[in-house]
Amino acid sequence: MPDHVRLAKRVADLARCSRIEAEQYIKGGWVSVDGRVTEDPAHPVSGELVAIDPTAQLETVEPATVLLHKPVGYDTISGRKVAAGLVQPETRWPDDPSGVHLLERHFHRLTPLVPLDAEASGLMVLTQDGRVWRRLTEDGDEIEQEFVVEVSGDIAPYGLHKLNHGLHYNGRPLRACKVSWQNEVRLRFALKGVQGGQLRAMCAQVGLDVVAIRRIRIGKVPLARMPDGMWRYLPVGERF
């Protein structure tokens, strides 16, 4: 029976490269063992067929940040029905423009950030990257978020002006924000430091009932045309 060797050694022999470079190929998801991608350089092999993807790139694997279009009814941070469970290989948006190579390791230890009410839908962020975590937690209140809010009812006199400036929530005055009509039944909100339930409360104060809420942007990152329940990667170099 053949002796087992580390996958990294076999790849180094096949590619005529160093062990360090072989490990990069493996961790990058470019190596298969008997047709199945294996990301563990220490995986033992003997007589199995080891193949290197001909399009393989020698590059360091970066921690992933995932952008999900959260459907209504899912919780962002914690709860009975957490949206993180929707992030699976088969739910990746086929039109993802990021160019990021999908890896199994990208689905582990994803931390959800920037809360969104369960009854709202739209852009949600999950990350493995400490830099993104710090940006969206330490500077979160200074990053503008944009929402489209579908409403019903008749807006009170000067209601649009009040939405932009002059309302209170949880006993405190709210920061000025930007609110405008997108069409006859949809308002567009752009605001910072938004709190859970705030948009519904603001609309109620000017005589409007909320039918639906969808977050379409966090900072500089848009939801774009990604369908409900699907996700894409945040491209390397793109910032909130």
Q: Walk me through the domains of the chain, giving residue ranges and CATH numbers.
A: 5-52 (3.10.290.10), 65-141+221-233 (3.30.70.580), 144-218 (3.30.70.1560)
C-alpha–C-alpha distance, residues 134 and 145, integer Å: 17
Per-residue confidence (pLDDT) for residue 1, from 0 to 100: 46
pLDDT score for 2: 63
Other beta carbons within 10 angstroms of residue 48's beta carbon come to: 18
- SS3 of 164, please? helix
Indicate the pairing of strand 121-127 with strand 209-218. Answer: parallel
What is the spatial distance between Cα 176 and Cα 162, in angstroms, rounded to a whole number? 9
| Interatomic CA distance for residues 127 and 121, integer angstroms | 19
The model carries a pTM of 0.84
**Alpha-carbon dihedral sign for residues 79, 193, 69, 63:** negative
Q: For residues 53, 54, 55 and 57, what is the CA-based torsion angle, rounded to 10 degrees?
A: 70
pLDDT along the chain (240 residues), means of 10: 80 87 85 87 88 85 94 91 95 95 91 95 97 95 97 96 93 95 97 95 97 98 96 92
Q: What type of residue is 200? A: R
Task: State the Cα–Cα distance between residues 93 and 95, nearest whole angstrom.
Answer: 5
Q: Residues with Cβ < 8 Å from 238, sequence gap 6 or more?
A: 220, 221
Distance, CA of 92 to CA of 108 (rounded, Å): 15
Residues ≥6 apart with Cβ < 8 Å to 115: 76, 77, 196
For residues 26 and 101, the answer to whether their CB atoms sit within 8 Å is: no
